[in-house]
Chain A
Amino acid sequence: MRSQNCFRIVIPTLIIALMLGMWPLPDWLEYARPEWVVLVLMYWALAMPERIGVTMAWVVGLLLDVTQGAIIGQHALGLVLVVFVISTQYQRIRVFSLAQQALVVMLLLLVKQVMVLWVSGIVGQAPDIGLYFLPALTGAILWPWLFIVLRDLRRRFTVSSRF
């Protein structure tokens, strides 16, 4: 349980997630792009809530805002709320099966998207609602795989003995 160890794996995964969020995709796939940063941050908040908390979420959210060209604070607000739910409920979520977790993940992704949409609406730039919530679905579908990959990574780097 060394803290430098913990950030040695958390930071690179978050950076990769940020990059995946900007990676050029074909037009038809663009609307289904999962919110990688949110998913990865959710995993770490779930795996080690004592280290990855709301403050970390806020900082990552600000970075996400800059990469997305959004209003600064928009994604940060959504991420803080998502990680807040996880840091208070992590013991409950951990015992769920992967399918149940995916459902919770979808709900949390929806919460985050609604927050972002809400802010966009307040400043008068609300986008078309048509496919807006598709990333929540793709995120939930990807969750079990992402969970297993990140768990194996965490075990290899022996970040935490819990969970």
Chain B
Amino acid sequence: MQSLFLQGPSVTLRTILLVIASVVVMVADHRWQALETVRDAIESYVVYPLRYTINLPSQLVDWGDKSLSSRQQLLDDNRKLQEQQLRAQVSLQKLSVLENENDRLRKMLSAQPKVGELVLVAEILAIDLDPYKQQVILNKGRNKEVYIGQPIIDAWGVMGQVVHLGLFSSTALLISDPSHAIPVQVSRSGLRSTAFGTGNSQLLELRYIPHNADLEIGDVITTSGLGGRFPPNYPVGRITSIERAAGESFATVLAEPVAHLDRSREVLLVWHKMQVKDVVITKPVDDESRAVKK
């Protein structure tokens, strides 16, 4: 026989306990990052299969698109890519000369040689997260030795960093998220600053820049490498507006990210703390798609 009413006090008691538990869990997660392993486990074994299923239709469409494209289209693509490859090859030739020269000069100055970087192509899964957060899910995780704090870039510039790990996937925070900040440098004048996300994928904000700073609209900002999380000299954005309000102690400087934050499908994960002292690396690493970059 079922009772007509639920056990009143027990529901209240359980609710109070669970509310307290929620608060404890939130503090542990946010303040001490103590729950990354729990999140990792849930993400890997419960959530990832769901994400994979959701991503499947878009993957199928991609596949269908590829297998149904006409011969003419493939030929066109092929020609276009070969042209591009040729052009890239030409500029690479010049680059290698410059690099050798740079090496020689560095040796003459007995400066530290540049550190090598390793990159791996990852794909962004077609999954919507909280629209008020600038996050993406990548299809590479702990199984490819991705780590928390790892920078991700696309063909145009810095995109963000990995914040949560799963076994087969990872969550990356984009540089435009309001909780993200990246140390940057204006490449023309060397001025250092920090670019904060605004929540708008087309807008970054440079804070704490004095009124008399050497800064112009159109200046390119790159990573400064300070803080050690991002490798130096990757493009981040371009200055779009500078406002020097008389009453304020700092100028309001806005920049537009150069990476295609809301359009890129493929991104690169960068290992920049590899202790490879030699600048020229030719040995390919086990994974096919992992290429060595200088």
Report the bound CA distance from A22 to B112 in whole Å.
47
Flag whether B15 is at the interface (Cβ < 8 A). Answer: yes
CB distance from A120 to the nearest CB of B (A): 8
Chain B interface residue number, banded: 35 or more
Q: Contacts A67-B47, A76-B25, A88-B8 given: A54-B35 contact, CB under 8 Å?
A: no
Check A58 for interface membership: any CB of B closer than 8 A.
yes
Query: Which of B48-56, B230-238, B239-247 has 4 or more CB atoms under 8 Å from chain A?
Result: B48-56
Q: Is A77 an interface residue (CB 8 A)?
A: yes
State the Cβ distance, B123 to closest chain A Cβ, in Å.
14
- The answer to whether A68 and B25 have CB atoms under 8 Å apart is no
B interface SS class = helix
B43: nearest chain-A partner, CB-CB: A66
Residues from chain A with Cβ under 8 Å of B35 in the complex = 72
Q: Determine the residue in chain B with the shortest Cβ distance to A23.
A: B54
Asked whether B42 lies within 8 Å of A63 as measured between CB atoms, the reply is yes
B residues 1-35 in Cβ contact with A at 8 Å: 2, 6, 8, 11-12, 14-15, 18-19, 21-26, 28-30, 35
Are A71 and B23 in contact, CB atoms less than 8 angstroms apart?
Answer: no
A81 within 8 A of B: yes
Q: B178 contacts the other chain (Cβ, under 8 Å)?
A: yes
- Which residues of A are found within 8 Å of B29, using beta-carbon distances? 71-73
Of A2-10, A24-32, A137-145, which stretch is located at the interface?
Answer: A24-32
The answer for the CA separation of A51 and B30 in the assembled complex, in Å, is: 32
Interface string of A60-82 (1 = CB under 8 A from B): 01110011111111101100110
Chain B residues in 8 Å Cβ range of A15: 50
Q: Within the assembled complex, what's the spacing in Å between the Cα atoms of A25 and B6?
A: 40
Select one of A25, A54, A69, A77 contacting B23, CB under 8 A. A77
- Specify which chain A residues have a CB less than 8 angstroms from the CB of B133 in the assembled complex: 69-70, 125, 127
Please state if B129 and A22 are interface contacts (CB–CB under 8 Å).
Answer: yes
Contacts of B6 in A (CB 8 A): 49-50, 53, 87-88
| A–B complex contacts, Cβ < 8 Å, 16 sampled | A22-B50, A22-B129, A63-B42, A66-B42, A66-B46, A67-B47, A69-B133, A69-B163, A69-B164, A70-B130, A71-B29, A73-B29, A74-B26, A76-B25, A127-B199, A132-B132
A contacts, CB < 8 Å to B: 15, 18-19, 22-25, 30-31, 33, 49-50, 53-55, 57-58, 61-63, 66-74, 76-77, 80-81, 84, 87-88, 119-120, 123-125, 127-128, 132
The 3 A-B pairs with the shortest beta carbon distances in the complex, nearest first, are A127-B132, A73-B25, A73-B26
- Taking Cβ atoms with an 8 Å cutoff, the residues of B that contact A are 2, 6, 8, 11-12, 14-15, 18-19, 21-26, 28-30, 35, 38-39, 42-43, 46-47, 50-51, 53-54, 58, 126-133, 135, 163-164, 171, 178-179, 199
